[in-house]
Amino acid sequence: MKNYQVQEIKNLLGTAKTALIAVPQLNIDSVGSALAFALLLKKSNITTKVFCPHKTDANYTKLNGLDLLTDIYNQNDLIVTLDYPLDQIEKVTYNQDNGKLNLVVQTKDGSPKVAENQILISNQASAADINFILGDETLLGTNANMINKGNWINISPANIEKTWAKVNIIDQDAPFSEILTFLLPMLDLQLTPESAKNLLIALRIATQSFSVNVSPETFEAGANCLRATQV
């Protein structure tokens, strides 16, 4: 059983409304792990996006939560997020009023009014409330400077602590999927069937079906994920 130092992460998550998970390198292990994490943060009412500068292909279609993944990070974008059921929204339009832009969200008949506390406005020039990175920031290319703003948590199998990170979770040589399988419950984020499936797929790929780069904890992680998919 692994034991990571997570109290500061839990403190940050306790007040966070938005989160970003950066994945510098495209592979099933990192993307599957990040999406599993994002699904659980979203379930905890934290608006979450996963950023990877590379586009996925057909090999990623079995992963859950692909709608949370983006390959675009424009630091000038303004994002308006509604914490409101999508199936209750009829349409979204915009108009101009004396040179001002109005965004109009029309809800379906009988649906409750959108409350002010359900509207979240953010600018990507400002970091999310809490940010995670799975890998080396230099692989983000032109977006590597994103780590200069906000609260960052570095999660890595490489034994290199990042001075810009508030917390470094380092588990040498373990795949991201193994690290996240143990880390998430420590953050009081219990695995769901969807998140566990992502982690299990990632573990199988990262270890070539549990034949290379494995330890007793790797098999324990696989068992934990398999049990969670049966819930």
What pLDDT is recorded for position 216?
96
Mean pLDDT across the stretch 205-228? 97
Q: What secondary structure, in 3-state letters, does 144-183 show?
A: HHHHHCCCEEEEECCCCCCCCCCEEEECCCCCHHHHHHHH
Alpha carbon dihedral 87, 81, 9, 147, in 10-degree steps, equals 140
Q: What is the mean pLDDT of residues 10-14?
A: 97
Q: What is the pLDDT of residue 132?
A: 98
Contact between residue 152 and residue 161 where contact means Cβ atoms under 8 Å apart: no
- Per residue in 17-35, pLDDT (tens digit) is 999 999 999 999 999 999 9
Q: Are 29 and 175 in contact (CB under 8 A)?
A: yes
Mean pLDDT of the chain: 93
pLDDT digits (tens, 9 = 90+) for 143-160: 999 999 899 999 999 999
Considering the chain, what percentage of its residues have pLDDT values greater than 90?
Answer: 79
Confidence at residue 27, expressed as pLDDT on a 0 to 100 scale:
97
Task: Answer yes or no: pTM beyond 0.85.
Answer: no
Domains assigned to the chain: 7-77+124-229 (3.90.1640.10), 82-120 (no CATH)
